[in-house]
């Protein structure tokens, strides 16, 4: 499970570049960070080992957007939708 601790420097650099490219894709499109990381990163690590990496990348990216999203949220509309959806 901790195979990424045992990566060679070149593999770690390649995985870092993959994550950087995936971050740029997410920056332009708003999604696909995990998809790009999984598609390209599977050449270095197994999908089972990439899942927690993708999870924490998405958590970090979402936390970074939380302040701006909270400020722009239409809370009244969301409240109405939430109450009437049940």
The per-residue pLDDT for 2 is: 62
Note the pLDDT tens digit of each residue in 69-83: 999 999 999 999 999
The per-residue pLDDT for 6 is: 82
Note the pLDDT tens digit of each residue in 5-64: 788 899 999 999 999 999 999 989 989 999 999 999 999 999 999 999 999 999 999 999
Q: What is the CA radius of gyration of the chain?
A: 17
Assess contact for 47 and 38: CB atoms under 8 A: yes
The pTM assigned to this predicted structure is: 0.74
Assess contact for 37 and 15: CB atoms under 8 A: no
Over the chain, what HEC string results?
CCHHHHCCHHHHHHHHHHHHHHHHHHHHHCCCHHHHHHHHHCCCCCHHHHHHHHHHHHHHHHHHHHHHHHHHCCHHHHHHHHHHCC
Write down the domain spans for the chain: 9-84
pLDDT of 3 above 70: no
């Amino acid at each position: 499970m901790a195979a990424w601790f045992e990566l060679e420097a070149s593999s770690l650099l390649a995985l870092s570049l993959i994550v950087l490219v995936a971050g740029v894709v997410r920056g332009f499109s708003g999604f696909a960070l995990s998809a790009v990381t999984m598609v390209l990163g599977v050449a270095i690590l197994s999908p089972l080992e990439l899942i927690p990496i993708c999870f924490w990348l998405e958590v970090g990216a979402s936390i970074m957007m939380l302040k701006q999203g909270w400020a722009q949220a239409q809370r009244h509309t969301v409240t109405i939708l939430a109450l009437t959806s049940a």
